[in-house]
Amino acid sequence: MPLAHIALRAGKPETYRQAIFDNVYRALHETFNVPEDDQFMTITEHDAANFRYGATYLGVNRSDDLVYIQITANNTRTLDQKKALFRRIAELLADSPGLRPEDVFVSLVEVSKENWSLGHGLAQYA
C-alpha cells in the first residue's frame, strides 16, 4: 500500500501530471507487486520561489523540470526491488511525459506494516 507524494514546478498541463501518476503507479505495480486499484497519490505544484534543488548535486545536472517523488511503503522489499523501482520510474517517465532521467528524484520512506490505517480507524495490516 504505497503512498506517493509528487512535487513539481507549477505550470505543467493536466495530461503531463496524469502521465506522472500513471507511470509511477505502473512502476510500483511492476516492481513492488502493488495490486490493481492500490493507487494513493498526490501532486503538489510549486512556484519558483517555493521549489529549490541542487542543480548539480552528486554530478546530476537537474533542470526546472525536476520532479520529487516520495513514496512511503512497507519495509518488505529487497534492495533489488528498490533499485528496479527507481530505474523503472525513470524509464517510464522518460517515455511519458518526457522527463529527463536527471530530473526524476525518488525518495523511498519505509515503515512497518502496523503504521497504516486505510480507513475506519483500523490498522488493516497489523
Residues taking part in catalysis: 2
The answer for residues whose C-beta is within 8 angstroms of residue 18's C-beta and 6 or more apart is: none
Distance CA 16, CA 9 (A): 12
Separation CA 96–CA 122 (nearest Å): 37
Indicate the pairing of strand 104-111 with strand 41-46: unpaired
